[in-house]
Amino acid sequence: MKENMLFSGESKNIEYKVTVPDKSEKYMKTVVAFANGKGGKIVFGVDDKTLEIVGMNTENIYKTMDAITNAISDACEPAIRPDVALQTVKDKTVIVVEILPGAQRPYYIKSQGMIDGTYVRVSGTTRHVEGYMLKELILEGQNRHFDSEICQNMTVSDSDINELCKSMKETALANTWQDSEKAKIKEVTKNTLISWGVLKESEGGIYPTNAYALLTGRMPQQPTIQCGVFKGTNRAYFVDRREFEGPIQEQMEAAYRYVLEKINMGMTIKGMYRQDVYELPTDSIREIIANAVAHRSYLEQGSIQVALFDDRLEVTSPGMLLNNVTISKMMVGYSKPRNPAIARAFAYMKIIEKWGTGIPRLFEACAEYGLPEPELIDFDGDFRVNMYRKRDTDIKTNTKKVTNTNIKTNTEKVTNTNTKTNTNIKKQKANAETATRILEIMREQPTITVKKIADQMRLSVAGVRYHINKMKKDGLVEHVGPSKKGTWLLHDES
């Protein structure tokens, strides 16, 4: 580590001690915290309050170094082998103890036991580990994953398995646009789910794992996604809030649609044509919510939070980054799935694409939109992605209010361009009223089919499709999901 970084102040991976404490436990907490995290350095001979380099007594300095090494080896379980070295700065000699990230987690102070003696590093301080985090460290140390563990007190039948397989294929088909790609989607079988870790074979039986429970919405204390819109740039004033329950893939889709409902729709001109665009790249919105669902810690009971402020979209997921995962690595496409069974299921359903590509694509998309650079934050046991909005853009804002006035305005432009006869005006008004009624039905019954709309309005299916296709082109409505089981999404709110 460069000198200016080593002595610039305490941080997540640097701690100072003026001298070596008589009781080793006073710094042993930090030793095990570094081993349980991303590693770090303890520098003896620096005042942590003033950052003054006071140095160590050089007469017995090698004896002091041996004492530190032995104390760490004796006090910690599993054994930690520190790298202890000397460094001279401004004619003062300090002892630098480097602790590497450990592979046999959890590390703890032997005399205190695993439950009381395990510590982690959070925001530059050493803290006693929380219960869920201790479980995660134990699994990580054994190269196991929570989502692939058998879900306790839960059984599964062949019909349950077949229902999940069918649902997953329907989702995959709904998320695939080209017919040629749809033809490549294979059936999901019981053996497929076993190979992914969604089911597990044990003692001659098939058991559901935590991934299965989460994908079917049957997890005890099933986590949720909390969504909210706030006035201003902080959480002082709620404008709207929603909480989504059920299978995690459905929660993800609902949260994504919620954000689309609340952000602005604009328009840009390309050549001779008008093109409706959202103020934020929609693929990136979907990806950061999907990644939060796929990579969050399910051992922590907290909810994913999707918050929309005047200046940003903020997605927060429970759980710190895993060992050896850093923000700088994520920026270049590095990925280490916390929940590999869920990640495999999401990849099959076309919810996430190739592992590790989401963050680089997020930055590229925001750059193409002319938006400020996104922000990735690893803090206090959570991970957050901020996507910043740009109010004064070259894209002209469209109020998107779905009213008779809007539809009349659009139709009147068409009328002025062509003929201004009273007959055409009456016809356009009738079309506007029909379109408005269709939107009202969709708003009241978001899952209604085109055929049922036609039945209610006593119109032909073809006639209803004509109006819906026109509204789709105008950016007023969108259909999400399968044709018979999907949902109408109205873009009528700014």
The SS3 call for residue 85 is: strand
The SS3 call for residue 42 is: strand
Residue 268's pLDDT band (cuts 50, 70, 90):
low
Fold of domain 399-490: Arc Repressor Mutant, subunit A (1.10.10)
Mean of pLDDT over the chain: 87
246: left (phi over 0), alpha (psi -120 to 50) or beta: left
Per the model's pLDDT, the better-predicted residue between 493 and 426 turns out to be: 426
Mean pLDDT score, 282-297:
95
Element (H, E) at 36: helix 25-36
**pLDDT for 320:** 83
Per the model's pLDDT, the better-predicted residue between 437 and 112 turns out to be: 112
CATH superfamily of 3-144: Schlafen, AAA domain (3.30.950.30)
**Letter for the amino acid at 89?**
V
**pLDDT for 424:** 52
Q: Is the N-terminal amide bond of 281 cis, ω within 30° of 0?
A: no
Lowest model confidence (mean pLDDT) among 48-52, 380-384, 482-486:
482-486
pLDDT at position 171 over 80: yes
DSSP-derived letter for residue 221 is T
- From CA 389, how far away is CA 371, in angstroms rounded? 7
**pLDDT for 471:** 83
Mean pLDDT score, 273-295:
89
What is the signed CA dihedral for 456, 459, 462, 465, rounded to 10 degrees? -50
pLDDT at position 493 over 70: no
Of 288, 415, 418, 305, give the one whose Cα is nearest residue 353.
288
For tokens 């599993």, name the residue.
78
Crossing angle for the helix pair 450-457 and 422-444, to the nearest 10 degrees: 120
pLDDT at position 90 over 90: no
Per the model's pLDDT, the better-predicted residue between 225 and 468 turns out to be: 225
**pLDDT for 271:** 61
pLDDT at position 244 over 80: yes
For tokens 């001779």, name the residue.
272
pLDDT at position 396 over 50: no
Fold of domain 225-335+348-396: Heat Shock Protein 90 (3.30.565)
Task: Provide, for the chain, the percentages of residues in helix, strand and coil under a 3-state DSSP scheme, each rounded to the nearest 5.
Answer: 40, 25, 35
pLDDT at position 415 over 60: no
**pLDDT for 270:** 59
Residue 459's pLDDT band (cuts 50, 70, 90):
confident
**pLDDT for 7:** 85
Q: Is the N-terminal amide bond of 82 cis, ω within 30° of 0?
A: no
Q: Write down the domain spans for the chain.
A: 3-144, 147-216, 225-335+348-396, 399-490
